[in-house]
Structure 1
Amino acid sequence: MTSRDVARAAGVSQATVSLVLGDKWRGRVSERTAAAVRTTAEELGYRPNLAARNLRLGRTRTALLVVPALTNEFFARVYTGAARVAAENGFGVVLYPSPEGVGPARDPFDSARASLDGVIASSMAADALAAMRGGGGLPLVMLDSDPADPEAAATVNLDIADGMRRMTEYLLGLGHRRFVHLASAVDSWTFRVRSRALAETLGSVPEAVVRTEHAALDVDAARHAAERALSGPGHRPTALVCDDDILAAGACKAVRRLGLRVPEDVSVTGFDDLALATALEPELTTVRLPAEEVGERGMAALLAVLDGRPAEAAAVPVELMSRGSTAPPPAV
C-alpha cells in the first residue's frame, strides 16, 4: 500500500496526500479534502514511510523528556500526556531522569544528540539543566519552570501561584491564623512560586503568622520536619501547608505520632493530588495539577517550535480539592 494508492482512492493528487498525512495541509488543502484523505488512508490501512520522510525532513521525530525522578506519579502522568500527543504526530518520547531534579544531570547529548529533535524538561531545579543547555542547538521546552528563562524556546506552566493562593484563602476562611509551611528543600521555580504566593496571601492578614520548615521530598524527612514544627516553643500551629502530597503524608504521620488528630487539632494540606491523597485517612485537601495536560501541551509546544509556529502561552488552570484533612482550628 502506497500514497499513490491512497491518492487514487481519494480522487486527489499524491502531493495532496503527502501534505495531509504530513500535517502540512492547512492553507493549501480544504478541511473537507483533508478529512477525506485521512479517512481513505485509515480505511486502506495505509502507514506512511516514516524513515523516508524523516530523512527528507532531516528529523528523527524523537523528543527527550527530562524529569526529576521516575518514582513520582506526577512525572509519570506528564510522560503519558506527552507520549499521547507525540504518537498522534508520529513522534516518540525518550524518558530521561535527572537525579532527583537537583542535578546536575549527566549530559546525554554526546551519544543522543544525533537522534533527537528537541528536549522537554519538567520541574527542574535551578542548576540541574546546566549540562543540558546548549545541547547542539536542540530546542528546549520547559514545563513548570521559570518563564523568564532565556534559553527556553517555549514554556508551559501550571497556575501554581493561583493554586497556593486559593489554598491559603481557604484555610484563612476556616479561621486558621497560625501556619507552618512544610516546604520542599529542592530549589526550583515551582516551589519558590508556592512559597511566595503563601507569604503574600498571609501578608494581607495582620494576625496571621507562618513559620517555614524545609524537608527533602520523602515521607520520613517530612515527618521529622513536621514534628519539629508542632513541638516547638510558643502556640502550636493549627495548619500545616505542604508543598506536595508526599510531604503532607509525612505531616499526617507526625500529627498522629504526637498524639494529635487530623483535622480536629491540626489541618494538613498538600499539592499535586496524587493517588496518595485519597489513600490517606482522612483524605487530603490538596491542589489538583493536571499533569497529563501539561505533558500534552509540552509536546504540542515542541511540535510548534519545530514547525516555526507560536506555542500556546496560557497557564494551565489548577483546582482546589477540599477533603477531610482540613477543618476549622480547635477552640482556644
Structure 2
Amino acid sequence: MTTPAHPARTTPTSRDVARAAGVSQATVSLVLGDKWQGRVSERTAGLVRTTAAGLGYRPNQAARSLRLGRTRTALLVVPALTNEFFARVYAGAAATAAEHGFGVVLYPSPDGTGPARDPFASARTALDGVIASSMATGALGALRSAGLPLVMLDSDPGDPDDTDAPDPRPGGAAAHVNLAIADGMHQVAAHLLGLGHRRFVHLASAVDSWTFDVRARALTEALASAPDASVRTVRAALDVHSAREAATRTLTDSRTRPTALICDDDILAAGACKALHRLGLRVPHDVSVTGFDDLALATALEPELTTVRLPAEQVGRRGMAALLAVLEDRTPDSTELPVELVVRGTTAPPPAR
C-alpha cells in the first residue's frame, strides 16, 4: 500500500498575496513597503497586511535592499562593552531597528573614547548610517569619511564640524539625542542641600567627555545657590578600585572630610562606599553618597544607592528613530530626554558637628 504524496509546501509570494487580497502586486509592494499613504486607502492597506500575515508572507529583504540601494543596517559605536549603560542603549536601538526591518551592529571604540576605526573595508558599502553614544565627533573621523548619516547620543550638540568629512553638518552630525544631564545634577545638589549638607567632594570621572563636563559645570552652578557650600573635585578612572583609592585620600583627614560625596557614575559611587566601609565610616550616617546612571549595581549596594536614573533604552530607541528620520528626509525629534533622581538609602542629613 502506497502513501499518497503530500503536495510540496511553497513559500508565498507577493503575487499570492495580491491574488488572495484581490489587489495588484503594485499595491502589495506599496503597502508592505510602507509607502501606501496617499496612494492606497487605509481599508485596502489593512486588507493587504492581514492577508500577508495569514499566508505567512515575508518580504525578501535582501532583494528589497538592492532595489533601495540600502543595507538596512546601522552601526552603534560605544566607548566600551563593559558598561551596562551602553548595553541598554544597544537594546533600545536594536528594538526600534527590528520594528523597521533594520539590524544594528554593535562596535566598541578600540581605544575607549579615542578614535574609532572603520570596522569594515568601507562603511559606505556595509551600512546605512552610524549612531555614536557618549563620544566626541572628532573620534569618528574614519567613519564620517564614508559620508554616512551620523546620529550622536549623549554628546556635545555644539561639537565643531569635522572639516575632513564630506558634506559637514552643523554640530558635526545629522542629529543629536541628549539627556537632561545638567538637570540631573541639579536634582542631586538640591536634594543634598535640602538635607543640610554644605561640605562636598565631587568624585569626578577622569574620562574626558562632554557628558562628564556637563555634570561638573551643573554641580558648580547648583551649589552656587548656597553661599556657605564648598566643593572639592577629585578625579578617578571609571572603575571601583580607582574610585576607592581616590575616595580614601579625601576621607582620611577628619578635619577636611566632606559630609557628602557626589559621584559622576554609580561605579565611582560603589568605590566610594567601599572606601567608607574600610575606614570604619557609616553610609549615610557619617557621609552621604550619590551616583549617576541607576545601573543594576545601585540596588546591589547596601544601603541602596541614591542616584540619577538615565533612560538608557529610550536613548537607544530615540537614536535609531532619529537615524531612520534622517534616512527618510524627516526632521528628528531633538528634545532632551528627562532624567529622575531616585532617593534610596545612601543619603541622609549630615552628622552633627
Give the TM-score band, short-chain normalised. Answer: over 0.9
Is residue 78–residue 86 contact of structure 2 (8 Å, CA) maintained in 1? yes
Indicate which of 204, 215, 229 corresponds to 2:225.
Answer: 204
User: How is 1:54-93 mapped onto 2 (pairs within 5 angstroms)?
Assistant: 54-93=65-104
Using the TM superposition, give the Cα deviation of residue 109 of structure 1 relative to its aligned residue in structure 2, in angstroms. Answer: 4.5
Using the TM superposition, give the Cα deviation of residue 242 of structure 1 relative to its aligned residue in structure 2, in angstroms. Answer: 0.6
Q: What's 1:329 paired with?
A: 350
Indicate which of 126, 149, 161 corresponds to 1:139.
Answer: 149
Using the TM superposition, give the Cα deviation of residue 18 of structure 1 relative to its aligned residue in structure 2, in angstroms. Answer: 1.4
Provide the rounded CA distance (Å) in 1 between the counterparts of 2:250 and 2:44.
65
Q: Closer, same or farther in 2 for the Cα pair 1:91/1:231, shift >3 Å?
A: same
Provide the rounded CA distance (Å) in 1 between the counterparts of 2:185 and 2:49.
44
Is residue 101–residue 128 contact of structure 1 (8 Å, CA) maintained in 2? no
Q: Give SS of 1:42's match.
A: helix
User: How is 1:147-166 mapped onto 2 (pairs within 5 angstroms)?
Assistant: 147-149=157-159, 150-166=171-187
Indicate which of 200, 206, 209 corresponds to 1:185.
Answer: 206
User: How is 1:154-303 mapped onto 2 (pairs within 5 angstroms)?
Assistant: 154-232=175-253, 234-303=255-324
- Residue by residue over 1:291-330, the C-alpha shift from the partner in whole angstroms, topping out at 9 and shown as x without a partner, is 1111111111111111111111111111111100111111
- The answer to whether the aligner puts 1:39 opposite 2:50 as a matched pair is yes
Using the TM superposition, give the Cα deviation of residue 25 of structure 1 relative to its aligned residue in structure 2, in angstroms. Answer: 2.4
What 5-or-longer segments of structure 1 have no aligned partner?
A: none
Q: Closer, same or farther in 2 for the Cα pair 1:47/1:238, shift >3 Å?
A: same
Q: Closer, same or farther in 2 for the Cα pair 1:172/1:119, shift >3 Å?
A: same
Using the TM superposition, give the Cα deviation of residue 101 of structure 1 relative to its aligned residue in structure 2, in angstroms. Answer: 3.1
1:13 partner letter: S
Using the TM superposition, give the Cα deviation of residue 16 of structure 1 relative to its aligned residue in structure 2, in angstroms. Answer: 2.3
Q: Closer, same or farther in 2 for the Cα pair 1:27/1:192, shift >3 Å?
A: farther
TM-score, normalised to structure 2's length?
A: 0.90
Percent identical among aligned pairs is 78
Q: Give SS of 2:140's match.
A: coil
Provide the rounded CA distance (Å) in 2 between the counterparts of 1:125 and 1:100.
13
Q: Closer, same or farther in 2 for the Cα pair 1:100/1:252, shift >3 Å?
A: farther
- Residue by residue over 1:73-106, the C-alpha shift from the partner in whole angstroms, topping out at 9 and shown as x without a partner, is 1111111111111111111111100136321222
Is residue 126–residue 188 contact of structure 1 (8 Å, CA) maintained in 2? no
Q: What's 1:26 paired with?
A: 37
Q: Closer, same or farther in 2 for the Cα pair 1:254/1:99, shift >3 Å?
A: farther
1:238 partner letter: T
Using the TM superposition, give the Cα deviation of residue 232 of structure 1 relative to its aligned residue in structure 2, in angstroms. Answer: 4.7
Q: What's 1:312 paired with?
A: 333
Q: What's 1:94 paired with?
A: 105
2:332 partner letter: A
Using the TM superposition, give the Cα deviation of residue 246 of structure 1 relative to its aligned residue in structure 2, in angstroms. Answer: 0.5
- Residue by residue over 1:6-48, the C-alpha shift from the partner in whole angstroms, topping out at 9 and shown as x without a partner, is 2232333322221221122233334443333222221211100
Provide the rounded CA distance (Å) in 2 between the counterparts of 1:316 and 1:87.
22
**Looking at CA atoms only, which structure, 1 or 2, has the larger radius of gyration?**
2
Is residue 294–residue 307 contact of structure 2 (8 Å, CA) maintained in 1? yes
Using the TM superposition, give the Cα deviation of residue 180 of structure 1 relative to its aligned residue in structure 2, in angstroms. Answer: 0.8
Q: Closer, same or farther in 2 for the Cα pair 1:13/1:88, shift >3 Å?
A: same
Provide the rounded CA distance (Å) in 2 between the counterparts of 1:181 and 1:30.
59
Provide the rounded CA distance (Å) in 2 between the counterparts of 1:35 and 1:162.
44
2:147 partner letter: G
What 5-or-longer segments of structure 2 have no aligned partner?
A: 1-11, 160-170
Q: CA-atom RMSD, angstroms?
A: 1.6
Is residue 137–residue 173 contact of structure 2 (8 Å, CA) maintained in 1? no
TM-score, normalised to structure 1's length?
A: 0.95
Q: What's 1:113 paired with?
A: 124
Is residue 200–residue 260 contact of structure 2 (8 Å, CA) maintained in 1? yes
